[in-house]
Structure 1
Amino acid sequence: SRTKLDKIFQSPTAHQSVYERMLERAPDEIKISECAETFLTLLHAMEDRYRHVPYPSCSLRLFSLQLDLFDEFLRDLKFSLNIEQQDIDPLSKHFCSILNSVVYIADVIQQWKNRSHYQRLQYLYDEYKVFIKKYGTDNLDEENLNMIQIDSTLAQQFDLIQLNKENNFVTASIFDHLLEQYRDEEETDCNIIVNHIVSLLKTKSRRYINEKWSTMPNPKDYFNMSISPSAIDILLELQTIFSNLSINLVKNVSNEIRARVTMEFDEYLFNWIVNDHTFNEGGASQFLFDINRGWSRIANDHVSQLFNKCRESALLLTMPIGSALLLVDALQQELSIKSLSNVSSKDSLVSSPLPSALHEMGIHHLSEFGAGQVLQRRLDLTNC
């Protein structure tokens, strides 16, 4: 089996799709790599061979081999991410294919946990653990939960007991350790992609962050507003990255990465633009325009609102000055009430419930303390 696994990864098309030219396949199925599909075929072939084996001890031995192969396959996938000691570009099709393989096999393991065949094997394994403690030396490897070591001298006795008992079915928890390993690798690879993208965006956004937000022309002076020129390169870069991810990654992983990148970059823009600059009317209007026509539009509909902190900040920065003054008073009263109620620490204020005044304005992700801080960035209020 180890030899067969080696051959799977030696194929020059190991990380290419096996269904790419089959139009009748669903989009996610088209992204299944050759190595993952061939590996699963190998496991199914093994299952077919021992499914009807009459002796429980033999079934457990073959099942143990399957579990070992799951471990080996994950190790080989990890090794594939590092060729000649050089890390692969996290946005490359090769990296995405390996991540797809990890997710695909993890999903298969999740499904197998509830299949009657593996529930029966879990039951037999549980029975064997009780049996070996009663009749023989404890031959279980507690450090490696995937190891099923059958004592050959006691196998026949175990088989006789089980063949005369009615089998029960329990969730195949022996897969839990394997599933955790695959999900951990999935999370690690997703983090690599997210961190890589956010790092690129931070580098490209330096000019945009340092725009003169406090001295921009009044929006009434424009015939038509347009996205800030310093933001265009970043938007195009992000649009290209998101487009490639949707092509190369399975849908749920691609969407998760898009959402995480969007939220992290939203936090970055909030900290380095909103919290670090003051805004005149022109700067506030330009920032709101960039959010609505630029940043939010490059994301899919279901993640477009994940630029929440910047979008809500822009709403506060552009609201009419009269409404802003009333909101400042309302927030100060709210904070005073909380102070009298012995809620005086900054951490408590940040995490406290939002007042209805903010909710009515569509502000749901900034606390009253945070909203007050944003309003202080308005030049028209600081001059009052």
Structure 2
Amino acid sequence: MDIKRQVINKFNEIFGADIKNLDNIQQFHEQLENEKHEIEESLSMASTEVPSKVKNAVANVELIRSDVEKSIEAAEELRKSIAKVLEEDNKTPKIKTVIDKIGELEKTLKYLQFLKYIEEISNEMEESMASGNDESMITLFTNLAEINCQLESSSCHNLVNYARETLYYWHNHLKERFSKEYTEVLKTMKWPFCGNNLSALNTIMPETMTRFKILTEYLLQLYLPKNDEPSVKSSLLTDFAPVCLPIALLVRPLRQRFIYHFTGNKQTNRPDKPEWFFTQVLTWIKDHEKWIEKNVQAIADSTGFTYINMKVEFMRALVQLAVEKLHTDLPVAQYDDTHFAHLVDEALGFEHELRDTFLYPANQPATVLVLTQAQIFVKWINMEKKYATEKIDVILNAQSAWERVNGTDLDDMKITECADAFLTLLTTISDRYSHLPQPGHRLQFLELQLELIDDWRVRLLQLLQQDCEDPLNSLIPPILNSLYYVSSVLLEWGDTVHFLQLHYFKKKCDAAELATEEGTDISENYIEENGSVFDDAVALLKRLEKELLDEISDSVALEVKAKSRPYRTDKWFAMQNEKEVASLSVTRTGCPMFEELTKQLHRLNDALSLPLFNIAWRNIASQLDRYLYEGVILENQFNTGGAAQLKYDITRNLFPLFGLYTEKPESYFPLMRESCILLNVLLGSAMLLIEALDGDNEDTAKDVLAEIGIFTLSPTSALTVLKLRTDIVIQ
């Protein structure tokens, strides 16, 4: 059936449905016969050729199989031969045993060589010490220290301990020997150079200075590997790495003086005078820093210890004295608020002096290290809050709180003493915690500042609750000026490096807290959100500022509106034509309104800072524009004289009042300006306008109005104004 279908399809494909195509059937039959003949011939040839080809292929395969089997047999015989030889001649275990033995002997020999080398160095050092050869002793000690460094990773613990103990032994002996001589040299030099010894700087003998340099070089080389340096026992002082030997010996007499004067029952050890010991440490640094840089640093550089900053080492050793003293005094002082606050003030002042004046590195610990201990820090920040709150009370209750600060470059801001003092308080707090190393501590102080800003805002709200008839004569203007100035300064602070860093840390903490609550990862997009730490605080201040500004603007506008009734009810429909009077002058009924507006604007300008006044008069202008449009324009009919008079009052009296504060006052009175245009346009033009505005095409109407300068009034409103003209009669 399939073959039959194929034949039918073939015929349909060749002849199609047209019977005329059957003429080609003879040709198609011949083509099929030819194809059949060719197939039969190919089959005949295949029947004679295929058997021979198959036979040859089978013979080749048999030959290849035979060769493969022979190769496999040969390979198997070779494998057995190799295995037999290896089994007979295998001496690997014996060789391995010999090699391991040699390795152990070599390690033992190396071990003994280290021991012998250490003993030889120790013996040589004894001989050098006996003969007084200091330079040889230092060289040998350096070699011994190098051996200790080489043995750091060794698993031979006994050898390592032996080398370390030998190093300690000679370090202590040499340190004692050179320290004793170093101390004698310092006495000869009359070190330290303070008090009565200041003149000794210029009287040091050359040979004494030479010996000082040599001993300083020796002491610098008496260093211990970092892992062998003595650890600090006090947990507080773990941040203070041991200073180099020369500096430790230079500071020793100063330490003795410090302990003598500032411990025990000495008169100089007064708990209420912490500034005494802080000042003493700063004085010692100031008296000796240049000498240390000039002499000791030069010796260190020439010896190859350029990585040691001798001035910093000297300061660090003296700062440690102050830190130890502060750590001792604070636990007692925390029970007396006054004493505690004074001690914290002096500690912070000491830190600022160190960092700013003497350039003490930021990565080196100082007195803030003590203040940030958990118990002390909590007490500190609570004291800051207490005294800051009391200071705000004093600022707000001062008689001169709302008086202006004179002698500044910002007279237009009309800065009040209240705002200036409050920002000074915030600045002082920032200065006090800016050197804290931990972001978490700084963020807690930032939260305190934000809390104080909000407290100050609430206190201002309480003051504003007092009744007042005239806002311009109340506390509203100075409070407005204070709010604007404080918020402006806070926005500037928000862009400084200090507060930008705090903003980043705060966002990071908030993101971590949110991720913890939701059980998700921290979102980098959340951390990198723009803004500043003062955004929320400034937003609240701006909200209060806007409310007060609206209130004072509304008050001024209300006073002006109260004087406008005669002007609004004047006979605008029966005024003399412009040609009937010699010259136009301000409408008599408008004089009280314009006079009141002039007075109120002057008072407002005098009371508010320039940026606030600019906002206020624009607000007043907008209100008056709407009020006069609705109360004068829409409520009256205007003859030609009335329209001309209104235009004169607005353009020659109202606009100039605001022209003192802007170059284009008319742009702030769009309704009145455009109404005057419509009321004074020529009668013919007015009639054409009415026809255009009466049409249904609003876009065309707007285009027509735009041609005469009308952009604010809608076509409907413009048509209403035009119909208020008495010279136009609407059918």
| TM-score normalised according to structure 1 size | 0.81
Cα distance change on mapping 1:173 and 1:26 into 2, 3 Å = closer
Which of 665, 680, 686 is residue 304 of structure 1 equivalent to?
665
Q: Is the 8 A contact 2:578 2:641 kept in 1?
A: yes
Q: Is the 8 A contact 1:53 1:59 kept in 2?
A: yes
When structure 1 is superposed on structure 2, of 105-114 and 205-214 the one drifting more is: 105-114
1:266-319 CA-partner distances (Å, limit 9, x unpaired): 111111111111111111111111111111111133461112211211111111
Q: Match for 2:691: what amino acid?
A: D
SS at match of 1:54: coil
Structure 2 CA distance, aligned partners of 1:263 and 1:125?
42
Cα distance change on mapping 1:365 and 1:337 into 2, 3 Å = closer
Structure 2 CA distance, aligned partners of 1:128 and 1:279?
68
Give runs of aligned pairs for residues 98-109 of structure 1, distance below 5 A.
Answer: 98-109=479-490
Q: Match for 1:301: what amino acid?
A: T
Cα distance change on mapping 1:131 and 1:51 into 2, 3 Å = same
Q: Is the 8 A contact 1:90 1:196 kept in 2?
A: yes
Whether 1:337 aligns to 2:724 is no
Which of 15, 24, 36 is residue 419 of structure 2 equivalent to?
36
Whether 1:97 aligns to 2:478 is yes
| Bigger helix share | 2
**How far apart are 1:88 and its partner, in Å?**
6.1
What is the root-mean-square deviation in Å for CA atoms of aligned residues?
A: 2.2
Which of 388, 394, 409 is residue 25 of structure 1 equivalent to?
409
Q: Match for 2:727: what amino acid?
A: D
Alignment-derived partner of residue 468 in structure 2:
87
Give runs of aligned pairs for residues 207-356 of structure 1, distance below 5 A.
Answer: 207-299=566-658, 300-302=661-663, 304-305=665-666, 306-333=668-695, 336-338=696-698, 355-356=702-703
Structure 1 CA distance, aligned partners of 2:653 and 2:670?
14
Cα distance change on mapping 1:67 and 1:381 into 2, 3 Å = same
1:111-138 CA-partner distances (Å, limit 9, x unpaired): 2222211111122223333555678x99
Q: Match for 1:368: what amino acid?
A: P
Q: Is the 8 A contact 2:494 2:532 kept in 1?
A: yes
Cα distance change on mapping 1:43 and 1:285 into 2, 3 Å = same
Alignment-derived partner of residue 308 in structure 2:
none
1:183-231 CA-partner distances (Å, limit 9, x unpaired): 1011100110121122212211111000011111112111111101111
SS at match of 1:52: coil
Q: Match for 2:396: what amino acid?
A: F
Alignment-derived partner of residue 14 in structure 1:
401
Q: Match for 1:264: what amino acid?
A: Q
Give runs of aligned pairs for residues 147-162 of structure 1, distance below 5 A.
Answer: none
1:231-267 CA-partner distances (Å, limit 9, x unpaired): 1111111111112222221112101111111111111
Alignment-derived partner of residue 127 in structure 1:
508
Q: Match for 2:534: what amino acid?
A: F
Q: Which runs of 5 or more residues in structure 1 are unaligned?
A: 139-167, 339-351
Q: Is the 8 A contact 2:625 2:670 kept in 1?
A: yes
Identity %: 30
SS at match of 2:618: helix
SS at match of 2:402: coil
Structure 1 CA distance, aligned partners of 2:694 and 2:640?
23
Q: Which has the higher contact order (CA 8 A, sep 6+)?
A: 1
**How far apart are 1:379 and its partner, in Å?**
0.7
Q: Is the 8 A contact 1:113 1:173 kept in 2?
A: yes
Q: Match for 2:553: what amino acid?
A: V
Cα distance change on mapping 1:58 and 1:88 into 2, 3 Å = farther
Cα distance change on mapping 1:383 and 1:125 into 2, 3 Å = closer
Whether 1:64 aligns to 2:64 is no
Q: Is the 8 A contact 1:114 1:171 kept in 2?
A: no
SS at match of 1:379: coil
